[in-house]
Amino acid sequence: MDIDNKARIHWACRRGMRELDVSIMPFFEHDYDSLSDEEKRVFVRLLECDDPDLFNWLMNHGAPQDEDMKRMIALIQTRNQARGPLAL
């Protein structure tokens, strides 16, 4: 997936699992544009992972083996936490 195709990435962020949507969508909407190109590539790779893996990683029930993806999970969690609770 091209890191500049924001419409396609936005679509890939919609996971259909509420817990993932409240983590991934706000990060994409508020933070994606400020990421470096390398971070964008890691984020896109993260979106290619299975929902159960993403859920476990974002809920701190394990971590990806890839160090770049670990850092991206931590960045998503940190940025979302800084924004505070989100209402859907």
- Interval 17-29: pLDDT, tens: 888 998 999 999 9
Report if residue 57 sits inside a domain: yes
Report if residue 88 sits inside a domain: no
Identify the CATH number of the domain in which residue 63 sits: 1.10.150.250
How many domains in the chain? 1
* Residue 38 lies in domain: 6-83
pLDDT tens, residue by residue, 42-71: 999 999 999 999 999 999 999 999 999 999
Mean pLDDT of the chain: 92
CB neighbour burial string for 24-55, b if at least 16 within 10 angstroms, e if fewer:
bbbbbeebbeebeeebbbbbbebbeeeeeebb
Report if residue 47 sits inside a domain: yes
Instruction: Provide the whole-model pTM.
Output: 0.90
Dist CA 55 CA 3 (whole Å): 22
Report if residue 69 sits inside a domain: yes
Amino acid 28: pLDDT: 96
Q: How confident is the model at residue 84 (pLDDT cuts 50, 70, 90)?
A: confident
